[in-house]
Chain A
């Protein structure tokens, strides 16, 4: 089981809470201080993306964040939980680099490359796994943690 689990309503206002909790647990798990900003940013990107996806597909369902201190690694999993399935026929939301038209970057219509959030995550975490289920996308990422799991 995860060290800490957080389930939050898919609203942008709660993404900051998710970042704060993830950073606190990372610190407690022994992640080096120099990596905490990376954890904060990567978790923020993953949660922003999940919130935006939920708002499009299943606003009533919560986003889940699981934080696990496991054998010298601090592991984070951000999971979309759309019971009815995310309506993304192309599956683009799950493809790293391919991106989703519904990602946070569309907020401004800025014309930045879609999927930039995923690219940022991949450059921040050592180990990133992105998977798709009928309920949406799951992003798992991890960083080294100095202390052994307790």
Chain B
């Protein structure tokens, strides 16, 4: 399936809901959304990947790019993902050490608030 993107605010953090496949074709749309959010001064982001069916290294590049952009404003980008097939590429590439990866959106928000 194609990529569906949505976002909403929760407890002062912008939650990005991603559904579908993130690959070389669709990743630019996610990149554009992350850039738009940062341009609109949303620097605390949680990307909910629970409905992501496929993620490749292009998608990883977009997420890392988003992380770099929010960090430039002392922000954060955490992920929500429990799917083994998606988590695997984070482990292969060592990016589990770069992103905070949580089981639920609420957990991601709580972890971020605890760090403040």
- Given the contacts A108-B65, A116-B93, A120-B93, A15 and B57 also touching, CB distance less than 8 Å: no
Contacts of A1 in B (CB 8 A): none
Contacts of B71 in A (CB 8 A): none
For B, the interface residue count at a CB cutoff of 8 angstroms equals 22
Contacts of B85 in A (CB 8 A): 37
Contacts of A108 in B (CB 8 A): 27, 31, 58, 61-62, 64-65
Indicate if the CB atoms of B93 and A52 lie closer than 8 Å.
no
Indicate if the CB atoms of B64 and A104 lie closer than 8 Å.
no
Q: Of residues 11 to 60 in A, which have CB atoms within 8 Å of B's CB atoms?
A: 12-13, 15-16, 19, 37, 40-41, 44-45, 48, 51-52
Assuming A105-B58, A112-B64, what are 12 further A-B pairs, CB within 8 angstroms?
Answer: A16-B23, A40-B54, A44-B24, A52-B24, A104-B24, A104-B58, A105-B57, A105-B61, A107-B31, A109-B65, A117-B56, A119-B93
Indicate if the CB atoms of B56 and A112 lie closer than 8 Å.
no
Q: Is A111 interfacial (CB 8 A cutoff)? A: yes
Contacts of B24 in A (CB 8 A): 12, 15, 44, 48, 51-52, 104, 107
Indicate if the CB atoms of B23 and A15 lie closer than 8 Å.
yes
- Given the contacts A45-B56, A107-B31, A120-B93, A15 and B68 also touching, CB distance less than 8 Å: no
For A, the interface residue count at a CB cutoff of 8 angstroms equals 29
Indicate if the CB atoms of B62 and A107 lie closer than 8 Å.
yes
Within the complex, the shortest CB–CB distance from A109 to chain B, in Å, comes to 7
Within the complex, the shortest CB–CB distance from A21 to chain B, in Å, comes to 15
Q: List 5 A-B contacts (CB under 8 A).
A: A44-B24, A48-B56, A48-B57, A105-B58, A110-B64
Q: Is A133 interfacial (CB 8 A cutoff)? A: no
Residue of A nearest to B64 (CB): A110
Q: Is B38 interfacial (CB 8 A cutoff)? A: no
A125→B57 CA distance, assembly (Å): 16
Contacts of A41 in B (CB 8 A): 54, 56, 89
Contacts of A40 in B (CB 8 A): 54
A108→B64 CA distance, assembly (Å): 9
